Amino acid sequence: MSTEEPKPVLRIARFPRLRRYFFTGLVIIAPAAITLWATLWFIEKFDSLVKPMFPNAYNPDTYLPFKIPGFGLIVAILVITLVGFLAANLVGRTVLALWDKLLNSTPVVRSLYKGSKQIFETLFSDQGASFRQVCLVEWPRKGIWSLAFISREVDSSEVGFPAGRKMFAIYISTTPNPTSGYVFFADHEEVKILDISVEDGLKLVISMGLVFPDKPLQQELQKSQAKGISRKSKA
């Protein structure tokens, strides 16, 4: 009869717990590290573009044993603000109008300048309504609902249909990159407007459906529909 003691069995119960701790730490550290890296990259890009334009006498790096990060970004912000200030008075508007006329008359530059100007005027205009609303549309087929963003309201005559038909310009972004997507036009009745912010909508798209708003989309849809009914009754 053998008197040998049984060998101790390696316990691995703690490994799943350690793995959970690792992924919890990764979820906390990775977004902060990516944000810090992107911020430093953005600042260094501006510094590398703006600092060479200044003479050494006006560059603070000449007098210090270390580089000052963000100097180029601060200068760029000041220059942009100064241009906006000049555009608010008569002399500045005259100079900018001549500059605008010059670029618009240049054959190759004209299309690029005009297109980029329209995009920035739409995005940053105080009266603009681009991407101010999130909606649901049945796309790519009936019965399947996709999250989309309303760019603006258009009349059907603007897109080749008989006039008097109210439509929305809809933008559906791809996941997880919201800068690529599809633009199409839909009637008001085919668009379900959600009472959530554009930021929440973008989070839902970028996270591939993992990060939802605090309230369910169905609840927000019912809320927005109730607001629309109340507006019609008051009218």
* Domain span at 229: 133-234
Region of poorest pLDDT, from 55-59, 149-153, 190-194: 55-59
Question: What is the residue whose two structure tokens read 């038909």?
Answer: 165
The confidence score (pLDDT) of residue 138 equals 92
Give the pLDDT band of residue 150 (cuts 50, 70, 90): very high
Flag whether 32 is in a domain.
Answer: no
Question: Whole-structure pTM over 0.75, yes or no?
Answer: no
Flag whether 110 is in a domain.
Answer: no
Whether 91 has a pLDDT exceeding 50, the answer reads yes
> Mean per-residue pLDDT for 138-147?
90
Flag whether 195 is in a domain.
Answer: yes
Flag whether 113 is in a domain.
Answer: no
Q: What is the chain's alpha carbon radius of gyration, rounded to the nearest angstrom?
A: 28
Flag whether 156 is in a domain.
Answer: yes
Residue 93 phi/psi, 5-degree rounding, is -65, -35
d(CA 228, CA 226) in angstroms, rounded, equals: 5
Flag whether 76 is in a domain.
Answer: no
Both tokens of residue 166? 């109210």
> Mean per-residue pLDDT for 36-61?
83
Flag whether 52 is in a domain.
Answer: no
Give the chain's domain count. Answer: 1
> Mean per-residue pLDDT for 178-202?
88
Question: What is the residue whose two structure tokens read 């590290």?
Answer: 33
Instruction: Report the SS3 class of residue 11.
Output: coil
Flag whether 108 is in a domain.
Answer: no
Q: At what angle do helices 71-86 and 90-104 cross, to 10 degrees?
A: 100
Region of poorest pLDDT, from 4-13, 86-95, 111-120: 4-13
Helix (H) or strand (E) holding 79: helix 71-86
